[in-house]
Structure 1
Amino acid sequence: MSSEDEIKVDKWDGSAVKNSLDDAVKEVLLSKYKYGESHWLMDCRLFICTVAVGLAGLAIVWDYLHPFPLSRPILIFCVVSYFVLMGILTLYTTYVEKNVFLVAVQKDPSGMDPDSKWEVSSTMKRFDDSYTLSIRYVEGASARQRQASVTRTVAAFFDENGVLVRDCLQPVVTKLHNSLLAGKKDK
C-alpha cells in the first residue's frame, strides 16, 4: 500500500473516524467481492432535496418578477412546501436509510433469479469508541433475510498516529460477510 492510499484521521474526531471506517468497509466489499453498488437510497434523498431547492428558487424568481404583495400566495406555498419536504427528508433518513452507507448488489450467476442485496450500516455514538457494523443480506431467489453485526473499539482498526490499518479491518468484514453466506447469525 502506498502512502497516498493511507487513510489518516484525527483520532479524537468521531465523525471522521466513523466515515473513514465506512469508506474502508465499502472498499472491502466492492473490491474483494466485485459487487455492484446501488445508489437508489442516495438518489431518493437527492430528489427530495432537489425539489426543495427548486421550490426555493421558484420563490426567489417569482418574487423578483412579481414584487411582494403580488407574490404572497406563491411565497407561502413555496415556504410551506420547503418545510414539508425537509420534514419528509428527516423521516426518510431516519426510517428508510437507517445509517445505511452501502447497498451492494450481487448479480445472480445464471441471470435467471433476482439479484441478492447487501445493505451495510454502521453506528458510533458520540463520545464513544465502539464502532458497530451491521450487514443485512437479502437473498435474491427466496427473499430470505439474514442480518449480522459486530461491535469493536476503533482502537482495533487505527494505530496510535490515527492511520487506518486495513489488515485489521478486512478480516472482520470478511468474517461477517461469510457468516451471512453460511446462514449463521453473529452478534
Structure 2
Amino acid sequence: MVNKDSESKGKDKKEIVKINKWDSSAVKNSLDDAVKEVLTKKFNYTENFNLMDGRLAICTIAVGVAMFALLWDYLYPFPQSKPILIFSVTTYFIMMGVLTLYTTYKEKGIFAVCIQKEGAHKGNVWIASSAMEKYDDKYELNLSLKDGKTGNIRSTQSVKSCANFITVDGVVCHDLVETEVTRLHNSLLNERKDK
C-alpha cells in the first residue's frame, strides 16, 4: 500500500539536475533557464517567442529551398536541374548568412523576452540576455526593461562568478539565482519610480 503523504511529497519536490560544472555552455544554459524560470514563475510574466520565431522563419526558408532543390533534382536529373541547384545552393548559403547576422545583431544573447500582463506596470517588456566566455567563470546577466507606456529602455547588469550560483556537485542553486534576478528586477523598477 502506498502512503499518500510520501506520494504528495514526491510531486512537490523539484527534480534536481546536475550539470558538468566545467562545461561553460552547459553552465550558461542552466543559469539562463533558472533566470527564465524566475521571470515566468515568480513574477508571473508571459514569455514572448517572437525573437525565436524569427530565427525559425529564416531556417524554414533555408530548409524549404533545399527541399525544393532536392525534389527538382529528383524530377529532372542533374543536367536539367543545374540552374535550379545553383540558385538553391546560393539561396541556402545567403539564408545561413542572414541567420548568422540575425543571431549576432538581433538576438545578441537574448534568451528570454517576457511581457508583464498584470499589475500596475502592465505592458512592460523584460528582456534577459547573458554572456559567458568559453574558459571564463564570469556569468554576465543583462536585464532590460522596456516601458510599456513610454517605450523607454533601461537596463542593468550583473557580472559574477558562476560559482556564486552552482554548488561543487554541479547543481544550480535556484534561490541564489532568484535573489540576484529579483535584485536586478527591483533596481529597474525603483529607477523608474525615482524619475
Q: TM-score, normalised by structure 2?
A: 0.89
Flag the 1:167–1:108 CA change in 2: closer, same or farther, 3 A. closer
Cα contact 1:124–1:132 (8 A) shared by 2: yes
Q: 1:159 to 1:46 in 2, by over 3 A?
A: same
Counterpart of 1:166, as a letter, is: H
Bigger Rg, which one:
2
Q: Find the counterpart in structure 2 of residue 179 from structure 1.
A: 187
Q: CA deviation at 1:3?
A: 5.4
Question: Secondary structure, in 3 states, of the residue corresponding to 1:183?
Answer: helix
TM-score, scaled to structure 1: 0.93
On the 8 A contact 1:108/1:116 being kept in 2, the answer is: no
Alignment match of 1:118 (pick from 114, 126, 129): 126
**Structure 2 unmatched runs, 5+:** 1-11
- When structure 1 is superposed on structure 2, of 164-173 and 73-82 the one drifting more is 164-173
Q: Which residue in the other structure is 1:56 paired with? A: 66
How far did residue 7 of structure 1 move?
A: 2.5
After superposition, give the CA deviation of every residue in 1:70-125 in whole Å (9 maximum; x if it has no partner): 11111011000000000000000000000000000012648xx9721111000001
Partner of 1:142: 150
Equivalent runs, 1:77-96 vs 2, <5 Å: 77-96=87-106
SS in structure 1 opposite 2:159?
strand
Contact 1:132 1:149 in 2 (8 A): yes
Q: Is the 8 A contact 2:126 2:145 kept in 1?
A: yes
Which residue of 10, 13, 18 maps to 1:2?
Answer: 13
Count how many residue pairs are aligned between Structure 1 and Structure 2. 181
Matches within 5 A, 1:20-169: 20-107=30-117, 109=119, 115-169=123-177
**Percent identity between the aligned chains?**
50
Q: Match for 2:99: what amino acid? A: L
Amino acid at match of 1:24: A
Secondary structure, counterpart of 1:69 in structure 2: helix
* Structure 1 consecutive aligned stretches of length 4 or more whose deviation exceeds 6 Å: none
Instruction: List gaps (5 residues or longer) in structure 1.
Output: none
